[in-house]
């Protein structure tokens, strides 16, 4: 049993459930004096981009800039809540594997706090839930937040 979490990861996708996970993650990080890692993944999997035959560097740059602006709001909110160690990471990739394989922390992540569902309802039907995948494949504890 872990007495105290040191590094908490919260993936954000803009859904209400990820917002709830963020709020819980801030509270748990405060209680544990932990570093909070806020992760946003820009899905560049073939399923997501299948209707785009070509996405340019400019499009990708715009997506990243928009994500940075949105995630900076979460960083500010976490800091205003009293956290002293908050890091924001924006990645391109497949969300479920990017979350499970996250290794940007100085020390291993020891808790992932993730929303029960995300924005991609069709993905849950065809390829399985990101949350389910993370719970099944993660090397650390996972807290699912509704």
CB 35 within 8 A of CB 7: yes
Please give the tally of structural domains in the chain.
1
Stated pTM of the model: 0.88
Asked whether residue 46 is domain-assigned, the answer is yes
Asked whether residue 2 is domain-assigned, the answer is no
Asked whether residue 64 is domain-assigned, the answer is yes
Asked whether residue 109 is domain-assigned, the answer is yes
Which domain does 40 fall in, by range? 7-145
Q: Rg of the chain's alpha carbons, rounded to an integer?
A: 15
What CATH number is given to the structural domain containing 137? 3.40.50.620
Per-residue pLDDT of the chain (146 residues; tens, 9 = 90+): 678 999 999 999 988 989 999 999 999 999 999 999 999 999 877 555 445 545 567 778 888 999 999 999 999 999 999 999 999 999 999 999 999 999 987 889 999 999 987 655 544 444 348 899 999 999 999 999 98
CB 110 within 8 A of CB 60: no
């Amino acid at each position: 049993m872990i007495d105290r979490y040191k590094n908490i990861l919260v993936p954000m996708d803009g859904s209400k459930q990820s917002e709830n996970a963020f709020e819980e993650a801030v509270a748990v990080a405060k209680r544990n004096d932990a570093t909070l890692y806020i992760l946003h993944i820009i899905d560049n999997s073939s399923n997501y981009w299948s209707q785009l035959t070509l996405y340019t560097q400019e499009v990708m740059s715009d997506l990243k800039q928009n994500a940075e602006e949105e995630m900076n709001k979460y960083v500010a909110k976490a800091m205003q809540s009293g956290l002293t160690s908050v890091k924001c990471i924006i990645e391109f990739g497949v969300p479920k594997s990017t979350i499970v394989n996250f290794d940007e922390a100085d020390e291993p992540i020891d808790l992932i706090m993730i929303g029960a569902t995300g924005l991609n309802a069709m993905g849950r039907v065809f390829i399985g839930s990101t949350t389910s995948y993370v719970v099944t494949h993660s090397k650390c504890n996972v807290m699912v937040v509704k």
